[in-house]
């Protein structure tokens, strides 16, 4: 098994530090794997969000730059907040009481 090594890393922040994005590019054989990692402050740990394979270094760098644009990070943040709201509503006691799961 070949160990991969991060060969480039970039950071970006969505306004007021609501979401921090980091990209990494690793070489795997003849290809490059570009990965977007996200963290929501005050968390310290980055979590993998998306990875893509590219055959050219320049294509991997372009993808990373696109992912770290503030508009993209803002969309990701809004989707995450919407998901949290929907899940909280779905699993709320008020919603659960509408269904009898024992039938």
Convert the pLDDT of each residue in 54-90 to its tens digit: 999 999 999 999 999 989 999 999 999 999 999 888 8
pTM of the model: 0.73
The answer to whether residues 20 and 41 touch, using CB atoms and an 8 Å cutoff, is yes
Q: Which residues have C-beta within 8 Å of that of residue 38, sequence separation ≥ 6?
A: 19, 20, 21, 22, 46, 47, 49, 76
Instruction: Flag whether 102 is in a domain.
Output: no
Kindly indicate the confidence band of residue 28, based on its pLDDT and cuts at 50, 70 and 90.
very high
Rounded-to-integer distance, Cα 80 and Cα 95, Å = 21
Instruction: Flag whether 89 is in a domain.
Output: yes
Q: Which residue has the tokens 């979401």?
A: 19
Largest Cα span, the chain: 58
In the prediction, which pLDDT does 49 show?
94
Q: Which domain holds residue 41?
A: 6-93
In this predicted structure, the answer to whether residue 47 has a pLDDT above a threshold of 90 is yes
Cross-strand bridge partners of residue 21: 12, 38
In this predicted structure, the answer to whether residue 103 has a pLDDT above a threshold of 60 is no
Rounded-to-integer distance, Cα 89 and Cα 30, Å = 46
In this predicted structure, the answer to whether residue 102 has a pLDDT above a threshold of 60 is no
Instruction: Flag whether 1 is in a domain.
Output: no
Domain count, the chain: 1
């Amino acid at each position: 098994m070949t160990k991969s090594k991060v060969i480039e890393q970039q950071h970006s922040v969505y306004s007021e530090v609501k979401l921090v994005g980091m990209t990494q590019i690793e070489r795997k054989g003849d290809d490059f794997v570009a990965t977007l990692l996200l963290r929501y402050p005050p968390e310290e740990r980055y979590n993998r969000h998306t990875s893509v394979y590219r055959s050219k270094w320049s294509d991997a760098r372009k993808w990373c730059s696109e992912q770290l644009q503030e508009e993209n990070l803002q969309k990701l943040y809004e989707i995450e907040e919407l998901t949290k709201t929907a899940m909280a509503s779905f699993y709320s006691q008020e919603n659960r009481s509408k269904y009898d799961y024992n039938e």
